[in-house]
Structure 1
Amino acid sequence: MAAYSANSLSFSTIYTQSRQFNQATGRQSSLKPFSLCARGSTFQSLRASPQRFRVHCAAKPETVQKVCEIVKKQLALSDDTPVSPESKFASLGADSLDTVEIVMGLEEEFGISVEEESSQSITTVQEAADMIEKLVEKKSG
């Protein structure tokens, strides 16, 4: 068993069941059971894969909103196209050039400079907002 913690959040991954057969799909599943404990509340036997369960520091709502606006502008999306923190650039129709242009728009708007390595790892609005918060904090600190 491995345990992880971050301030008031901790969770344990139990490795006793490495693969389970999913009768609905007829395939093996690599999902592992784990326990989640946050400030004394425990949620037993949750199942998640690394792709579906993420813990991250949420950026300020105004930062997320501004990123949504920039993404809509750069991709020429209509006002009724929903863009949320979970929105992936690729699912909104962005290719690699569009992603570069989004990052350039974010740099200009927030007065930051994003390293090429960091810009290539950004795939969602939330990831972009979180990166902006870190860079703005680093710049002012």
Structure 2
Amino acid sequence: MASITASFTSLSCSLKPNQAFNRVSKLGSVSLSTSGKIFPSLRMQPGSFRVSCAAKPETVEKVIKIVREQLALTDESEVAGHSKFAQLGADSLDTVEIVMGLEEEFGISVEEETAQAILTVQDAADLIEKLIENKCD
């Protein structure tokens, strides 16, 4: 799964209980599971719409393993998708080494500007899946 960002001038979208699909201008359809919940009025910044999907659990687990190895964390140390590298004790050099480990493990290449935007385990996992998906296209 990947994160999709799109910009356009107008958006018309309504959510109703049990409605599975909503049409969005120039994007085709976006699948939304409401699980019977009623959503209040949605407000967005003019000209922008974003859909985000979390990375596969196995990707997150591989990232956690690499982070643990690079930072020499014990098994008792809590590391999860929301864990920030800085809070785990990583400095800038550690972060570079984590990214290098991810590149090697997943066979990807991460641009320097993109690497600087990775703050959490989940950020890394989401980026990995996006890069792998782009590689296959």
Matched, 1:66 2:62: yes
TM-score (norm 2): 0.67
Give the percent of matched residue pairs that are identical in Structure 1 and Structure 2.
Answer: 66
Alignment RMSD: 2.6
Shift in Å, 1:96: 1.0
Structure 1 residues 1-16: aligned runs within 5 Å = 7-9=30-32
What SS does structure 2 have at the residue aligned with 1:7? strand
One-letter code aligned to 1:8: S
Shift in Å, 1:7: 1.5
What SS does structure 2 have at the residue aligned with 1:66? helix
Looking at structure 1, the residues matched to 74 and 93 of structure 2 have their Cα atoms a distance apart, in angstroms, of 20
Instruction: Could you tell me which runs of 5 or more consecutive residues in structure 1 were left unpaired when the two chains were aligned.
Output: 10-36, 46-53
Q: 2:98 aligns with which of 98, 102, 125?
A: 102
Query: Which deviations, in whole Å up to 9, do the C-alpha atoms of 1:46-87 show, x marking residues without a partner?
Result: xxxxxxxx9631111110000000000000000111110000
Matched, 1:126 2:122: yes
After superposition, the Cα gap between the structure-2 partners of 1:72 and 1:92, relative to the gap in structure 1 and judged at 3 Å, is same
Q: How many residues align?
A: 106
Query: Which deviations, in whole Å up to 9, do the C-alpha atoms of 1:80-111 show, x marking residues without a partner?
Result: 11110000001101111111110000000000
Spell out structure 1 runs of 4+ moving beyond 6 A: 2-6
Matched, 1:76 2:99: no
One-letter code aligned to 1:114: V
CA contact (8 A) 1:68 1:84 kept: yes
Is the strand fraction higher in 1 or 2? 1
TM-score (norm 1): 0.66
Looking at structure 2, the residues matched to 129 and 43 of structure 1 have their Cα atoms a distance apart, in angstroms, of 29
> Larger relative contact order (C-alpha < 8 A, sep ≥ 6)?
2
Looking at structure 1, the residues matched to 12 and 90 of structure 2 have their Cα atoms a distance apart, in angstroms, of 38
What SS does structure 2 have at the residue aligned with 1:42? coil
One-letter code aligned to 1:107: E
One-letter code aligned to 1:75: L
One-letter code aligned to 2:57: P
